[in-house]
Structures are given as structure tokens and as C-alpha cells.
Structure 1
Amino acid sequence: MKMEIRPLLMCFALCVVYATSKPTEKKDRVQHDALLSSKEHDDGTNFDYDHDAFLGEEEAKTFDDLTPEESKNRLGKIVDKIDADEDGFVTEAELKAWIKKAQKKYIYDNVERQWKDFDMNNDGMISWDEYKNVTYGTYLDDPESDDGYNYKQMMARDERRFTMADGNGDHIADKEEFTAFLHPEEYEHMKDIVVLETMEDIDKNGDGFIDLEEYIGDMYNHEDEMDEPGWVATEREQFSEFRDKNKDGKMDKEETMDWILPADYDHAEAEAKHLVYESDTNKVSRH
């Protein structure tokens, strides 16, 4: 579906105008997409949600002090970037890709902050040796030290993940590969490593599965309170009714993946469809 850029720009300009007008906690292993906005999605009242979804919440704040005309000019430049094929139209796919980029901005910002710490020779790449030396340098100087951490095991685990993220197998990561290493939950080809690491963390008896007590034990420390909080009983039911799909009393790799990496509702796609519909003023869309 395509729509002309000008109506889309006008829609977002309108968004900007409106936008300026302890119980025991459990550990959550489930990987969720970042929210498009913390605001309520109610276009009948304002367009704050759409504004944040389109720009990202932090970027959206920079528009607060701009006049409508300044906002329109700035948004025009952004919309030109969205139109990847430069055909004068914005497709749902282009808009979805842009929203996802805004949604994941915190990830890319995190990678940028860490990049200079590991790229020791400033060649625009990060080798495994660079990462290893920065992260485990003290341990490598004195591998016999005993301060309560198993650095050898941690380093082996990091190297395994680094190798998985390193697409061409040269043990050197470019920006995208390093992002996959730091945030494997965001990449399809890294999902197996996310599941494997999760299972290794929770599977205390080393049998390659997660049983009920291991599942609960990962979320709740039984020694913290005399009585279990109500959510613990709910989680026991969740395990039996939904997590353990084949009812064998434990979760295997596939069941664990369904738990921590669920096929969530695609908020970016839904928002892209919504914005195209609202912006397509004559409701004549191109495919």
C-alpha cells in the first residue's frame, strides 16, 4: 500500500501540534518489543502516541519547543528519509521499517556508547581479542584468582555468542554483528543462543530441561518470605497449563523458546497501517 508524501507530512504535523498541546517482584525472562510510546493511544483526544511512535519518545520531545511551521519543515526531511525508493510515495513497509528503527533506537544508542570502549585500534571493527581483553583483562592477567566468579566459563559463553553473531566467521564484528552480540534477542539467527543461555541459567540439575521447581526458583527466592506471593501459584498454573505443552513435567528447547520469545502482536506494523489510513485523505491507496 502506498500514499503520497504530502498528506502523510500533514498528518504528522497535526500530531506535533497535538503533542505540544512492594510485594515480591518476579524476574521476567520474556523478551518484549520496546513500547512505541508510554502514552495512551487515543486519537480522539490527541495524537501523542502516533507522534512518539513515528519519532521515538526521546526525539519527539525535541519538537515540543518548535513552531508548527518549524515542525513541518523538520518532518518533511524525515519523511524524505522514510521514502527509501524515492518514488514520492511512502509504503506501509517503508513506514513500518522506520517505526521499528525508532522503536529500537535505545539499542543502537547503547551499541554506540559501548563501541569506542572495545574498538581499541579504531579500525571500525571489534575483534574477539579486543572484546576479550577489555572485558576479561584482569582475569587474563591472573587466571588463578578466586573472587567468586567463574570467568573462564563466562568468557567461553561470550565467545560462543560472539561466534554466533559473527556472520562471516572471521572473529571480527562490524557494527551490525556487534549489535547482534549485545542484543541477540533482536535477531532471528540469534534466538537459539538466547534460548540456550536461558536454559543454562535455569537448568540447575543439568539435564537439558527446565522443570517446575527450576522455573519457579528462577523467579522467586523461597527464603525471602514465609508465605509465597499469590503470583507464584499463578505461575505454577501457567507452567502446567501453557508452558509445558506436551505435559511431560518439564520444558524443552522449543517450549522454552515459546515462553521467552513469544510471537507478539506487531505494534509497528499495526501503527504503520493506522498512520497510512489516517494520512491517506482521499482513501485511494496504491499497492
Structure 2
Amino acid sequence: MNCGCFRVVASRNMRTLTPLLVVAICTSWVVCKPTQEKKGRVHHNKDLSDHQHDDSQDFQYDHEAFLGKEEAKTFDQLTPEESKERLGKIVDNIDSNNDTYVTASEILAWIKFVHGRFVSEDVDKQLRLFDKNHDGSVSWAEYSNQTYSHLLGEVEFYDVVEKEKYRKMKERDERRFKHADKDGDLIATRDEFTAFLHPEEFDYMQDMIVTETIEDIDKNGDGVVDVDEYISDMYTPETDEPEPEWVKTERQQFKDHRDLNKDGKMDRTEITHWIHPQDYDHADLEAKHLIYESDKDKDDKLTKREILDNWNMFVGSQATNYGEDLTRRHDEF
């Protein structure tokens, strides 16, 4: 059973999610990363791992699909015994009606809770960084000064090409900030700042996500995405390297499922359908996947024993916030 990724994934090899800058802490101020370099592009991709999805062999596909290669290493922080013990405590929290069974709806609720907590904690952290006057909101001046003044202010620090890159990033961040700022006062409330940082969480930001996606993939600037642009966003071949099978498969996916009107390219409507499919709920699919893979007696619900028997799948899934919840104390839930 294949399932989608609840988190936002920019490409198969995750290149676009790698930060290009390092946060530098100085004696009096903090160097901040532009939104694009900090978050990566906001869109999902159906193919989630280079590994075959075969849970009878291993869970590498699931781990990389849910975590990315680096985050999946969190799984190795604890011994199996410690992981099982802490996972058991998490199961008690997932079982909201205390009937000793965990259903798909309870796992779905838990995944959404964990995801919501991640977003909330991230916004809290960014507010502490950018809200210089401590009024609970972030103005565009506060954000841009903190993020871009050091990048654009020193000619000798960056060459002309680098400064132009950051100038364009600032323009793009300002456009997203203004779109998130519903009342247009250039001061983002906590909710508006959340929409700026996590636009995938807000319906009114979806059009902005589509625009940014096109800008990132459309290399020739014609406003549409052809198959070569689509592939190059995921895969850069080495010299004389034969094209991998997964790339050939992805080309066929483009032809069969992305290019709906069969004109050889994706227009804005088709890109919207790709990154915002109406009938595709990542959290719901993952909850059903976890039930399907762990429900040994096929009664459509899980006992704690069934979950612990399949603990390595759960600690690598969103049910435990990519493994992070296994390192939290029980009293933190």
C-alpha cells in the first residue's frame, strides 16, 4: 500500500531543502536566513524515496518518505528497548477514548496534533527572533532588516551576482509577506506570520505556493513547466550517467498524470492540481497505511502490542513527529 507524505517535500533527492546559509550568532545580532533558503520550496512530490516500497524487506522507503534521509537518522538515537518503552507511552495518548485500541481516526488526529504542534513551536521560535519590540507581531521592517540588511548592505562581502540573488529573494519574501498580511498594514499578527512561514497550512496562500513553484521550476520563463524542467527539478545527471529507472517512470507520470490536456507541458491549472490535489489527504493516507501494515488480525484497529511489534515503522513516521517524540519526556505530552 503506497502512501503520500504529510510534510512538504521539494524533490526526490531533497537538494532544494538544503540550507545555503549558516545561522551566525554575533555579539549583538543574529544573521537570519531568507525564507526560501530556510524552508525550501513549498510543494509536494508524489515519489518520496529512491528505495523500493517493500515493507517486507525494510522500512527505508517509509523512513525517507516521512523524514528525509537526515531526519530518518533520529531513529538511531535510542536503543530498541528505549524506543519501544517511549512509544508505548505515546500510544496511550493516541488512544483518546481509552478503549485499549487505536483506530485510523485516532492516528489521524494524532498526526494532525503533532504537525500542528510542530508549526506552532516553529512560529514561536521565529517570533522570538524577529519580534524586536515584543508586541506579539512581526512587521515587514523587522523581518527584512533582520534577514536582509547584512546580505545587501556590504558590497565587499558579496559579489554582484550574490547580491542580485538576495535582492530577488527579498522581493519574493516581501510579496509572500504582503499576501499573508490580510489587512495590508505590513504588520503580521501571529496568524499572518504563520501563513508567511507555513503557507501550505492556509487556503488563501495556495495561489502563492503555485506561483513560487512555477518560478522555481520554469527555467525558460514561459510560464509553464515542460517535462525536462519537471525532471531537472528532481534529478541532475552526472556526466555520461544513464538515466535511472525512476526518472523514466517519472517522465511517464508527467505524461499520464501531470499533463492533463496532453500538450506536453503543465500550465498553472495543471500545476495547481499537482501540488494541491483535491482528493489526496496525506495525513489520512498515512494513518491508513500505519493501520494496514500493523493490523495483524485485520480488525481495522491496533492494540498496543500490534504497534509495538511494528515499532520500527512507527518511530520513523509522522505518528511520532519523525522520531522526535521518542526523545521527549512523557510529561511533555
Q: Which residue pairs with 2:218 in the alignment? A: 203
Question: Which residue, 105, 115, 120 being the options, matches 1:108?
Answer: 120
Cα deviation for residue 146 of structure 1 reads 1.8
**Which whole-Å deviations, capped at 9, do the CAs of 1:253-278 have from their partners, x for residues lacking one?**
11112222223236459969x9xx98
Q: Which residue pairs with 1:254 in the alignment? A: 269
In structure 2, C-alpha distance between the alignment counterparts of 1:195 and 1:112, rounded to whole Å: 26
Contact 2:152 2:166 (C-alpha < 8 Å) held by counterparts: no
Unmatched 5+ stretches in structure 1: 1-23, 33-39, 41-60, 80-92, 279-287
| 1:146 equivalent in alignment to 2:140 | no
Q: Which residue pairs with 2:281 in the alignment? A: 265
| 1:190 equivalent in alignment to 2:202 | no
Q: Which residue pairs with 1:117 in the alignment? A: 129
In structure 1, C-alpha distance between the alignment counterparts of 2:160 and 2:233, rounded to whole Å: 23
* Paired residues for 1:215-254 under 5 Å: 215-223=230-238, 226-254=241-269
Q: 1:95 to 1:229 in 2, by over 3 A?
A: closer
Unmatched 5+ stretches in structure 2: 1-10, 17-42, 47-54, 56-81, 97-104, 292-299, 302-333
In structure 2, C-alpha distance between the alignment counterparts of 1:186 and 1:130, rounded to whole Å: 23
Contact 1:31 1:261 (C-alpha < 8 Å) held by counterparts: no
Q: 1:236 to 1:143 in 2, by over 3 A?
A: same
Q: Which residue pairs with 1:181 in the alignment? A: 196
| 1:127 equivalent in alignment to 2:143 | no
In structure 2, C-alpha distance between the alignment counterparts of 1:112 and 1:267, rounded to whole Å: 23
In structure 1, C-alpha distance between the alignment counterparts of 2:204 and 2:136, rounded to whole Å: 23
Q: Which residue pairs with 2:44 in the alignment? A: 30
Higher mean alpha-carbon deviation, 172-181 vs 102-111, is at 102-111
* Paired residues for 1:47-86 under 5 Å: none
**SS of residue matched to 1:196:** helix
User: What letter corresponds to residue 105 of structure 1 in structure 2?
Assistant: R
Task: State the identity %.
Answer: 44
Number of equivalences? 210
**Which whole-Å deviations, capped at 9, do the CAs of 1:95-147 have from their partners, x for residues lacking one?**
97776333322121111112111001111110000000000011342368426
Q: 1:180 to 1:143 in 2, by over 3 A?
A: farther
User: What letter corresponds to residue 194 of structure 1 in structure 2?
Assistant: I
RMSD value, Cα: 3.8
Length-normalised TM-score, structure 1: 0.61
In structure 2, C-alpha distance between the alignment counterparts of 1:226 and 1:99, rounded to whole Å: 40
**SS of residue matched to 1:219:** coil
| 1:171 equivalent in alignment to 2:182 | no
Contact 1:30 1:262 (C-alpha < 8 Å) held by counterparts: no
Cα deviation for residue 204 of structure 1 reads 0.8
Contact 2:111 2:283 (C-alpha < 8 Å) held by counterparts: no
* Paired residues for 1:12-31 under 5 Å: 26-27=13-14, 29-30=43-44
User: What letter corresponds to residue 111 of structure 1 in structure 2?
Assistant: V
Larger Rg: 1
Contact 2:152 2:167 (C-alpha < 8 Å) held by counterparts: no
User: What letter corresponds to residue 272 of structure 2 in structure 1?
Assistant: M
